[in-house]
Structure 1
Amino acid sequence: MAPELRRVTDQDLPEWSRALRTGFLRPPVVTKEEIELRTAAVATGRVQGVFDGARCVATFRSFDQRLTLPGGADIAANAVSNVTVSPTHRRRGLLSRMMAADLRAAEERGATAATLIAAEYPIYGRYGFGPVTWTTGWEVDVARTGLDRRYAGPADGARVDLVDPADVRVHGPGLHERLRATRHGVIDRIERWWLVNTGAMPTGIPWEEPYYVLHRSADGTVDGLLVYTAEDTWEGMNPQGVVTVLDLVAVTPGAERALWHHVLSIDLVAKVRTGHRAPDDLLPLLMPDPRAARVTHHSDFLWLRPLDVPTLLAARTYASSGSLVLGVTDPGGPADGRFLLEAGPDGARCVPTTRAADLVLGPGELGSLALGDESAARLAELGRVDEERAGAVALTDALFRTARRPWCPDLF
């Protein structure tokens, strides 16, 4: 019998979880805590599995997400996660079946786009996804930064305080929502995220309590959060401690600078690892010697697949004013068609049209352009977009590109 694609029930969870672990090369032993954690996801009806007899051989899950666009508005996204196909069942079209069913359902629910973070680059372009944000990580040699090691905290009346997990659960959600309103590419963090990431909800993974730091402005407003772990390492009598930043959220440049300065001034620390940051993060240029920060990784991160092109393009703002007809080639898909975009700094209008296209591209290319990070000129030089009207590529870049690069701080 052909493998069966079906919605996963509570009874399927142990077998589905084992298949998930197998796909991600983790020991295929499922704990009671893991099953309990995944039960809530099953209740939403957004967990799929492919079963060959009693054995699950492919996994797929999606959930609701909010994604911020340039200008601060957000859209309803269908976030895709937990995608695996067991090595015994590769190249049989199982992922294509799961993806088609999920995207069809997402379109029917009214999602504007689908999002995911790709484990491997070549997989998702064929489903209409394109990379929309990138991430960079640095390792900082603290001794080389050139920062004043006598730093004793902000000098503008602000405060930097070590706090407890309970304080983070109080102040963190509102702070993150303020960030989301100002930085495109950021996704929402639901209550469960804060519980898991402050140790209040067990996950089956051993919990190591990090350090939590809040930055308060002179009037007492919380405008920054730093979370980090530290390794107590020595070489002889020389301290060689390593700090790893797990999260740094700041809604003012002053708070961001102060939190970086704080973490780079901790006694006994020789190296600071930044975690996932925007490629144009302030950090390197904050230091008198930017070469103290060595890039440890630079990669695509959040991917986006347009489902409702008019809503997606009308929801964001644009750097300049102009009119453009985009011809999206998505045979049999939800993004197929020609769309008239009338855009400007104060908003936009986007509607289907029968007018000739100025620029022709696929849904993945539109996804890559949607948050302003990719260059239409670069895509044209690669042969991935076609300019049907002279000047359309330049106009696309003038409209879509943004002053700061989009950033998604969270894996999902």
Structure 2
Amino acid sequence: MSLDVRTITEDDLPNWIRARRTGYVQSPAVSKAELAYRRGLMDFARAQGAFDEGRCVATYRSFTQRISVPGGASVTANAVSNVSVSPTHRRRGLLSRMIDRDLREAAERGDAAATLISAEYPIYGRFGFGPAARVVEWEVDVARTGVDPRHAGPGDGGRVDYVDVAALREHGPALYERVRAVRHGLVDRTETWWRRNTGALPIDDTPWTEPFAVVYRSAEGTVDGLLVFTADDRWEAKLPHQTATVLDLVAVSPAAERALWLFLLSIDWITRVRTGYRAPDDLLPDLLPDPRAARVLTHADFLWLRPLDVPELLRSRTYPVAGSLVLDVTDPAGPAGGRFLLEAGPDGASCVRTGRPADLSLPAAALGSLYLGDESAVRLTALGQAAEERPGAAGRADALLRTGRRPWCADIF
């Protein structure tokens, strides 16, 4: 059977959306609101579809993204999204054809990496992606925390204030960029992101329900954190049993983060808090007098990273200690293969191709897992996913690459 895999046009968009919804096991109906939203979102030159006798049966798109890396800089990534294959057309190489073309074009543009949020774990390793940042979601039993609402306010001269969504659009972008400068793994948020997440840009026909929003202002009056959450309205036997669900919580300082969590946990009638996806080393559990009040609901891989330009990636971040390392990276299907000399330190790094003997050999996917500092080269070596060519090389790689805080990606894309 002949399947046409090609770049889509604007005329293809309703058919493409229907295929994406079918692949995601969602109602295939395409609303006018969703059509308008995706038309404004799409870079049609980077959107692909597979067509069988005119019907779209697989979807794929990518867009330019900036991801924060250790040290405060950002690199340009080719963000992959909306990947789907209809159940009737699996195992026919459709994803391979689309992703191979996209990654080749990304490398030609000079993108340092490709990124994605993997819906299913086994798919993307064979394309050179490795899990680079993980997330944890907690459910907090408020009564068990030991938090005293009378003493939950900021003790540093700061204050917490409710704001409306217009204020979020005003204060949020600049605050978020400040957070990205001190926390690696965060992807940029476009104007479209802020409009969509504050109700100004409908995604579909679902009515917009405004969430609660608060900001933390420091003693100097600067907005150093924001919290967005919803709450259900559940009572039993004349007693409140309301659950607050965090949609967004970002803070530029530990003081702001602490103040926002303790504020949420001190609200009358809230008996449980669901945190949304946080970094595995989030401060929350240990901010509580009883950390066991926070029960883990999810602990999973989240952001996946695929190196494209290894020298650009490695010289864009900083390193906690000074040292050098020769990496032999294998990448049969892509541009990341080669032997690279990394000379690095707290003030920056250089990385060039080299003919020197390798210290550590690894596939591109393993380098993707190591890059943001979350994974251990010693652990990957034990798993057979990397190999020491010189004794102690994996430990030296960990000393260079691992970070004091774990990376965190706050957004699905």
Tell me if both proteins adopt one fold, taking TM over 0.5 as the criterion. Answer: yes
State the shift of 1:239 in Å.
0.9
Deviations 1:195-252 (Å, cap 9, x if unpaired)?
Answer: 0000011111332210010110011100000000001111102111110000001001
Amino acid at match of 1:96: S
Matches within 5 A, 1:117-128: 117-128=117-128
Whether contact under 8 Å (2:133, 2:409) holds in the other structure is yes
Whether contact under 8 Å (2:161, 2:215) holds in the other structure is yes
Residue of structure 2 equivalent to 1:140: 140
Structure 1 residues 406 and 12 mapped into 2: Cα distance closer, same or farther (>3 Å)?
Answer: same
State the shift of 1:158 in Å.
1.0
State the shift of 1:332 in Å.
3.9
Amino acid at match of 1:274: T
Structure 1 residues 149 and 42 mapped into 2: Cα distance closer, same or farther (>3 Å)?
Answer: closer
Whether contact under 8 Å (1:322, 1:342) holds in the other structure is yes
Q: What's the Cα RMSD here?
A: 0.9
Residue of structure 2 equivalent to 1:380: 381
For 2:364 and 2:160, the matched residues in 1 are separated by 45
Structure 1 residues 398 and 43 mapped into 2: Cα distance closer, same or farther (>3 Å)?
Answer: closer
Secondary structure class of the residue paired with 2:406: coil
Matches within 5 A, 1:17-56: 17-56=17-56
State the shift of 1:33 in Å.
1.0
Whether contact under 8 Å (1:8, 1:42) holds in the other structure is no
Amino acid at match of 1:110: G
Matches within 5 A, 1:337-376: 337-376=338-377
Q: Percent identity of the aligned residues?
A: 65
Whether contact under 8 Å (1:277, 1:407) holds in the other structure is yes
Whether contact under 8 Å (1:241, 1:268) holds in the other structure is yes
Secondary structure class of the residue paired with 1:390: coil
Whether contact under 8 Å (2:127, 2:333) holds in the other structure is no
Amino acid at match of 1:352: R
Residue of structure 2 equivalent to 1:248: 249
Query: Are 2:323 and 1:316 aligned?
Result: no
Amino acid at match of 1:330: D
Residue of structure 2 equivalent to 1:57: 57
For 1:221 and 1:319, the matched residues in 2 are separated by 30
For 1:302 and 1:385, the matched residues in 2 are separated by 20
Residue of structure 2 equivalent to 1:5: 5
Amino acid at match of 1:40: G
Whether contact under 8 Å (1:358, 1:389) holds in the other structure is yes
Amino acid at match of 2:295: R
Q: Which deviates the most, 14-23 or 329-338?
A: 329-338
Residue of structure 1 equivalent to 2:393: 392
State the shift of 1:156 in Å.
2.4
Residue of structure 2 equivalent to 1:410: 411
For 2:251 and 2:190, the matched residues in 1 are separated by 18
Secondary structure class of the residue paired with 2:136: strand
Secondary structure class of the residue paired with 2:151: coil
Amino acid at match of 2:307: P
Residue of structure 1 equivalent to 2:179: 179
For 2:134 and 2:71, the matched residues in 1 are separated by 19
For 1:106 and 1:57, the matched residues in 2 are separated by 24
Deviations 1:254-274 (Å, cap 9, x if unpaired)?
Answer: 000000000000000110000
Amino acid at match of 1:113: A
State the shift of 1:355 in Å.
1.2
Secondary structure class of the residue paired with 1:301: strand
Secondary structure class of the residue paired with 1:203: coil
Whether contact under 8 Å (1:10, 1:42) holds in the other structure is no
Deviations 1:301-350 (Å, cap 9, x if unpaired)?
Answer: 00000000000001001111111110001114100100000011111000
Residue of structure 2 equivalent to 1:110: 110
State the shift of 1:43 in Å.
4.2
Secondary structure class of the residue paired with 2:45: coil
Whether contact under 8 Å (1:19, 1:58) holds in the other structure is yes
Query: Are 2:267 and 1:266 aligned?
Result: yes
Whether contact under 8 Å (1:41, 1:47) holds in the other structure is no
Secondary structure class of the residue paired with 1:291: helix
Secondary structure class of the residue paired with 1:45: helix
For 2:176 and 2:196, the matched residues in 1 are separated by 16
Whether contact under 8 Å (1:9, 1:42) holds in the other structure is no
Residue of structure 2 equivalent to 1:72: 72
For 1:232 and 1:39, the matched residues in 2 are separated by 36
Whether contact under 8 Å (2:370, 2:377) holds in the other structure is yes
For 2:152 and 2:328, the matched residues in 1 are separated by 57
State the shift of 1:44 in Å.
4.7
Give ranges in structure 2 of 5+ residues lacking alignment: none
For 1:332 and 1:270, the matched residues in 2 are separated by 51
State the shift of 1:41 in Å.
3.3
Secondary structure class of the residue paired with 1:383: coil
Whether contact under 8 Å (2:130, 2:366) holds in the other structure is yes
Matches within 5 A, 1:141-290: 141-151=141-151, 153-204=153-204, 205-290=206-291
Secondary structure class of the residue paired with 1:320: coil
